[in-house]
Amino acid sequence: MSQKLWGGRFREETDSLVNDLNASIGFDRRLYSQDIEGSIAHCGMLAKQGIIAREEASKIIEALGEIRRALDRGELPFEGYEDIHSLVESALIEKVGASGEKLHTGRSRNDQVALDVRLFVRDAASSVIRLIKNAQRTIVALAEDNQGLMMPGYTHMQRAQPVLLAHHLMAYYEMLKRDGERFTECRCRTNVLPLGSAALAGSTFDLDRQMVAEELGFDSVSANSMDAVSDRDFVLDFLFASSVLMMHLSRISEELVIWSTREFGFVNIPDSYCTGSSIMPQKKNPDLPELLRGKTGRVYGDLMALLTTMKGLPLSYNKDMQEDKEGLFDAVDTVEISLEVIARLLGEVTFNGDRMRNASKTGFLVATDLADYLVRKGVTFREAHEIVGKMVLFAIDEGRELHDLKMDEMRGFSRQIEDDVYGWLDPEASLKKRNIKGGTGPDSVMLEIAAAKGELED
């Protein structure tokens, strides 16, 4: 067991169970690169300010680089250390001797870990943004390849109106676009340097915090030392953005599951993304989208856990905040693999066009168009709604669709109905009438796809 960084105050050895509960090396080892990056910047600043000698700083920085490369290669054991900070410091002192003990001048593990986590979240947000863009590109390509394919649009899981499959798919592009904006905003709020806050009150040393911020690519330095060491809002921002993103992935996954059933038969998921049953030989189960649905709850849990941890903490740093990392790491891993999986999956699915087109022709999907037709003939919309509702009831009783009704039958409900009504009862014609911006009309959807491609190029 390494010597505690804080052991001078204590007469007794820490209980072994306390060591087990207190140690974070089992998970914060993941921050070694960020910890060393921050230490190098801090060391350079200490030398520039004359707090340590430049010769010592050069040796420390060189040794820190060697330690990072050794950790990259898996050559340094993590066991026996309280946290990643103590491991790096111990390895540094072993390399450069007493000079390594000077590196911690002007900082605390409180602002050190706040820095490490901010660097991690900043990198993670950038990674997620890139993966979101990849998923968006897949969606746009899928929409473009299926521009002319009509399907039923649903509300309350009941057939509602005909829409283009491309329009339906592009709805998820818009969701992911908002997700990207949330992660971008998260990255901006994360990009504030906490180092220099020390334990909570700042430092008596003349630290050049702006120099460290510029060295590490931060936009600004924290304005309040107590807030800086106790703030985990940026982690919560990341977890919230991750939860909303996973909710969106879960929605599209749910539709893939439903659409792949024999009852719908809209989509074909390749065998390579499905599994079978141990007892039923005929089964082909859409396990991949089902897992994405399930992992959404996992990320929600990560968010709720940290919200609950932070809700009653007085200023400033409290040990409870050590619980911020495992949920964060879990959410990052889950979100990244989920985005990779959904992009690959959507790039491989195919659609049953005939099945979707035929489904669009039953279920009275043009009823609203018929009401709009009557409004154009001078009927108020409320009256038109009532007339069409009665026509639908009549058609249900007759076992027919609206377009199957004869002219004299329709005129029995409204004398305003004329021969031109049949042009309003064709689902394909219905689509073409909805070229309003944001609508499902073919021209509108083409513009929507073109705009998205332009955004992705930017």
The DSSP bridge partners found for residue 161 are: 153
Q: What is the helix (H) or strand (E) element at residue 440, kind and residue range?
A: none
- Note whether 221 and 192 are within 8 A (CB): yes
The pair of structure tokens assigned to 343 is 């992009």
Q: How far apart are CA 438 and CA 447, in angstroms?
A: 9
Tell me if 277 sits within 8 A of 285, measured CB to CB: yes
CA 240 to chain centre: 9
One-letter amino acid of 183:
F
Question: What residue type is assigned to position 422 of the chain?
Answer: Y
Burial class (CB within 10 angstroms; exposed 0-12, middle 13-18, buried 19+) of 82? buried
Beta strands of 275-425 (E only): which ranges?
350-351
Among 16, 156, 272, 278, the active-site one is 156
> What whole-number distance in Å separates Cα of residue 195 and Cα of residue 222?
8
Cα–Cα dist 408/414, whole Å: 10
Catalytic residue among 58, 126, 220, 277: 277
Q: Is 168 a catalytic residue?
A: no
Question: If DSSP codes are grouped into helix, strand and coil, which group holds residue 161?
Answer: strand
Residue 124 CA from chain centroid, whole number: 11
119 conformational bin, left if phi > 0, alpha if psi -120 to 50, beta if neither: alpha
Clarify whether 156 is annotated catalytic.
yes
Beta bridge pairs of residue 193:
221
- Per DSSP, the three-state class of 13 is coil
Residue with tokens 């022709």: 361
Longest dimension (CA), the chain: 101
- Say which residues have a Cβ less than 8 Å from residue 446's Cβ, sequence separation at least 6: 147
| CA–CA gap between residue 449 and residue 173 (Å, rounded) | 10
Classify the C-alpha dihedral 230-235-241-244 as positive or negative.
negative
- Mark out the alpha helices in 73-151 (DSSP H runs): 84-96, 109-145
How far apart are alpha carbons 66 and 395 in whole angstroms? 79
Q: Which residues are catalytic, by number?
A: 156, 277
